[in-house]
Amino acid sequence: MSTTLAGLGLSAGAITWVVGAGLQAKRDNGKNGTRTASTVLGFAVLLAGVVLIALTILTSALPSWIALVGWAIGGLGMGFGFNASTTDTLEQAPPEQQGEASGALQLAQTLATGVIAGLGGAAIAFAQNYGGSTRTALLGVFVLTGLLAIAGMLIARRLRPKAAPQGCPPVPLSVFVLM
């Protein structure tokens, strides 16, 4: 794959991430309660993108540009699920602990990205330096990514809305829009 094609893939993923975030915000606009469905849907769409990328890279059945479509689909899932889960997490935290919750989320996201990327890179380097198959190493990376997406779908189903204080109905979003 050329660097131009790879750059287009990254751009497509970034653009669809923004589109996914916008769709998620529009879907959840005005709804009080949990964003469970949005988070689960985000993980499911991400999984579909990973599967498409894996099939393109690990088999010769699909042209290489199909991996870009998979990357775009994965970006859409990230935009949809990432914002829903982050917003839901911050809503669960008391106001005085939202900064701490935000910091913990950032740390967990950055650490997970670094660890998974490091493991994937180590698997590929090991395969290349010790006579293993790069295809097998990539298969391991894709399987791990898929398993994490499935685990995310299962865990996200446990999200519950924050209970409103007794005698205090939730304030509709339209009140703030009209101001």
Long-range contacts, stretch 167-171, CB < 8 angstroms, 24+ apart: 170/32
Judge whether residue 93 has pLDDT over 90: no
pLDDT in tens, 38-85: 889 999 999 999 999 999 999 988 998 899 999 999 999 999 998 888
Q: Which of left, alpha, beta for 131 (phi over 0: left; psi -120 to 50: alpha)? A: left
Q: What is the pTM of this model?
A: 0.81
Residue of 29, 168, 163, 162 lying closest to 92 (CA atoms): 162
Identify the CATH number of the domain in which residue 34 sits: 1.20.1250.20
In a domain, 178, yes or no: no
Q: Determine, yes or no, domain membership for 118.
A: yes
Residues 52, 70 contacting (CB under 8 angstroms): yes
Per the structure, the count of domains in the chain is 1
- How many angstroms separate the CA atoms of 179 and 176, rounded? 5
Tokens of 46: 């991400």
Domain, as residue range, for 97: 3-161
Indicate the length of the chain as a whole number: 179
